[in-house]
Amino acid sequence: MISDVKILDVTLLSDNWFKLRKFTYEGTQKDGSKIVHTREAYDRGNGAVILLYNKDAQTVVLTRQFRLPTFVNGNADGMLIEACAGLLDQDNAEDCIRRETEEETGYRITNIKKVFEAYMSPGSVTEILYFFIAEYSPEMEIHEGGGIAEEEENIERLELDFQESLAMMDDGRIKDGKTIMLLQHLALKGLMNK
C-alpha cells in the first residue's frame, strides 16, 4: 500500500495520436519508508460502451471491425467483435453513447441505463469506461449503421442470438473485455429471461 503520493516529474513522450507521458512519483509505504517510481501512462481520454439487447427476440447488437493492436498481438485477421463504444471527446458519457450507437449500429435508442464504470487497463492506460445497456427494437432502426465515412470507420453491425453470443465468449470468438463484461452483466442480472 502506498500513500501520500506526489508527482515529482512529468515528461511527454508522444503526442502523435493520444498522449504518452512518463511520470516520476514519490510515495510512502506501509512501513513509513519513501519510494520513488517511474511509470508510463497512456492518456487516450475516457470512453463509453453500450450493449443493445432485445428481450423478446433474445438478441444483442454487436459490431465487428479491424483493430490493429489485436492484429499485431496474434489476432490473425485483426477483426474484433465488440459492443458499440467510443471516446467521450467533449460529451458526457450518455450523450457520447447515444451518438456512437446511432453512428455504429443505426439504432436511435431511448432508454439508456448506466450499469457501472471501470478502469480497463489501469497498469498503463488512464481511461475510465462508462458501461451502458439499452433495449432496442426494429422500429428504432434509422439506418444500417457502419460508422462515419469521414472518420474512415468501417464497422459491421451484427445482430446475434444472446445464447450464441455467450457461446462465442466461451469459445473465444468474442475476446473483447468490455463486451464480455456487458454480456455477463445481462446474464447475471437475468435481463434476458422471458
Are 97 and 166 found together in one domain? Answer: yes
Q: What pLDDT was estimated at residue 89?
A: 85
Are 124 and 180 found together in one domain? Answer: yes
Region for 164 from its dihedrals, namely left if φ exceeds 0, alpha if ψ lies in -120 to 50, beta otherwise = alpha
Are 96 and 172 found together in one domain? Answer: yes
CB 40 within 8 A of CB 11: no
Are 149 and 97 found together in one domain? Answer: yes
Tell me whether residue 194 is in a domain. Answer: no
Model pTM score: 0.92
The number of domains in the chain is 2
Tell me whether residue 153 is in a domain. Answer: yes
**How far from chain centre, in Å, is Cα 22?**
24
Domain of 122 in residue numbering reads as 47-189
Are 179 and 111 found together in one domain? Answer: yes
pLDDT along the chain (194 residues), means of 10: 94 93 96 95 95 97 95 95 94 93 94 96 95 97 82 86 97 97 96 87
CB 44 within 8 A of CB 15: no
Q: What pLDDT was estimated at residue 152?
A: 65
The three-state secondary structure class of 96 is: helix
Are 137 and 171 found together in one domain? Answer: yes
Quickly list H helices, 48-176: 68-71, 93-105, 162-171
Are 147 and 52 found together in one domain? Answer: yes
Are 28 and 7 found together in one domain? Answer: yes
